[in-house]
Structure 1
Amino acid sequence: MYPDWPEPGVDLEPLPRVDGPKLGPFDFKGPQRIEFLEYLGSGQHSHVFKVQILGTVYALKLFRFTYIYDWIGPGPRHTELDDIEAVSAFYQYSEPFSAECRAFGRLQESGHEELAIECFGYLLLDEEHERTLMSRFSDLDLEFSGTWSEPGIEERSRYPGESGKDPPIRGIVKEFGQENTVLRVKDAKKALRDIIQLQQLGIVNIDPEQRQIINGKFADFSIAITTPHYMMNPEMNIFLTPEWRSAVEYEAFGHSLRDYLEFDNMIVGWNCELKWTGNKKHKPLSVFAFPNGKGLQIKYDLRKSPDRERAFSYVDPRTYDWRAPRPGKTLSSKPPRWYYEGSDQHLRNLKRCTDFVPGIEWKYRAGLICPDKGSHWFEGIIESV
Structure 2
Amino acid sequence: MEEKAYFEPFSCECRAYGRILEEGLEQYVAQCYGYIKLAPSDFEPLLNDPERLKRHFGYRKRHEGRPFRALVKEFVKADRDLYPPLPNRSRSNVRIWNTVFRNTKDSRQLIRGLKRIQKSGILVRDINGGNVMNGRLIDFSLAWTVPHPILVKEKMENDKIVDIYGGGFSDASQVDSLIDNWNEEHDPGLRIWDRCLPDPDYCADKIRFRRDRLRGKFGTKWRWGRKTCGWYIRPGLYKWKAEDGPGGQTER
TM superposition shift of 1:259: 0.9
TM-score normalised to structure 1 length: 0.47
2:193, 2:110 → 1: CA distance? 14
Q: Distance in 1 between matches of 2:151 and 2:181?
A: 29
Between structures 1 and 2, the one with greater strand share: 1
Once residues 14 and 202 of structure 2 are traced to their aligned partners in structure 1, the CA distance between those partners, rounded to angstroms, is 30
Mapped pair 1:154 → 2:61: yes
Could you tell me which amino acid in structure 2 is paired with residue 320 of structure 1? Y
> Which has a greater percent of helix?
2
Cα deviation, residue 118, structure 1: 1.0
Cα distance in 1, alignment partners of residues 162 and 188 from structure 2:
41
Q: Which amino acid aligns with 2:23?
A: S
2:52 paired with 1:142: yes
Q: Provide the identity percentage.
A: 27
Which of these residues, 169, 177, 184, is aligned with residue 272 of structure 1?
184
Deviation at 1:155, TM superposition (A): 1.5
Does structure 2 retain, via aligned residues, the 8 Å contact 1:145–1:156?
Answer: no
Take 1:182 and 1:192, find their aligned partners in 2: how far apart are those partners? 12
User: Which amino acid in structure 1 is aligned with residue 242 of structure 2?
Assistant: A
SS in 2 for 1:171: strand
Q: Is the 1:206–1:259 contact (alpha carbons within 8 Å) kept by the matching residues of 2? A: yes
Give, as a single letter, the amino acid of the residue that structure 2 aligns with 1:188: S
- Structure 2 counterpart of 1:194, which letter? G
Matches within 5 A, 1:370-381: none
Give unpaired runs (5+ residues) of structure 1: 1-17, 19-87, 158-165, 236-243, 275-279, 336-385
Instruction: Tell me the residue number matched to 1:39.
Output: none
**How is 1:19-168 mapped onto 2 (pairs within 5 angstroms)?**
88-90=2-4, 92-130=5-43, 134=46, 141-144=51-54, 153-157=60-64, 166-168=65-67
Aligned position for 2:92: none
Other-structure match for 1:289: 196
Contact 1:232/1:249 (8 A) holds in 2:
no
Alignment partners' CA distance in 2, 1:295 and 1:226:
33
Question: Cα 1:114–1:245, aligned 2, differ >3 Å: closer, same or farther?
Answer: closer
Q: Which has the larger radius of gyration?
A: 1
Q: Distance in 2 between matches of 1:245 and 1:285?
A: 33
- Please list every run of 5 or more consecutive structure 2 residues that lacks an aligned counterpart in the other structure: 79-98, 222-230
Equivalent residue number for residue 171 of structure 2: 259
d(CA) in 2 for partners of 1:329 and 1:322?
Answer: 4
Check 1:270–1:105 CA distance in 2 against 1; reply closer, same or farther (3 A cut). same
Deviation at 1:251, TM superposition (A): 1.0
Alpha-carbon distance between aligned partners in 2 of 1:98 and 1:265, rounded to the nearest angstrom: 27
Change (3 A) 1:229 1:301: closer
**CA shift in 2, pair 1:126/1:294, >3 Å:** farther
Alignment RMSD: 3.7
Corresponding residue to 1:320 among 217, 222, 238: 238
- Cα 1:263–1:254 change in 2 (3 A) is same
Shift of 1:314: 2.9
Match of 1:217 among 107, 120, 136: 136
Amino acid across the alignment from 1:143: L
Task: Tell me how far 1:220 sits from its aligned partner.
Answer: 0.3
Q: Deviations over 1:151-181 (max 9, x none)?
A: 7x52133xxxxxxxx3321111111122435
User: By how many angstroms is 1:300 displaced?
Assistant: 6.0
Q: Which has the higher contact order (CA 8 A, sep 6+)?
A: 2
2-structure distance, mates of 1:116, 1:301: 36
Q: Residues 146 and 230 from structure 1, CA distance in 2 versus in 1: closer, same or farther, beyond 3 angstroms?
A: farther
Q: State how far apart, in whole Å, the 2-side matches of 1:271 and 1:330 are.
A: 37
Alignment check: 8 A CA contact 2:125 2:143 kept: yes
Equivalent-residue separation in structure 2 for 1:187 and 1:113 (angstroms): 15
Report what 1:175 is aligned to: 74
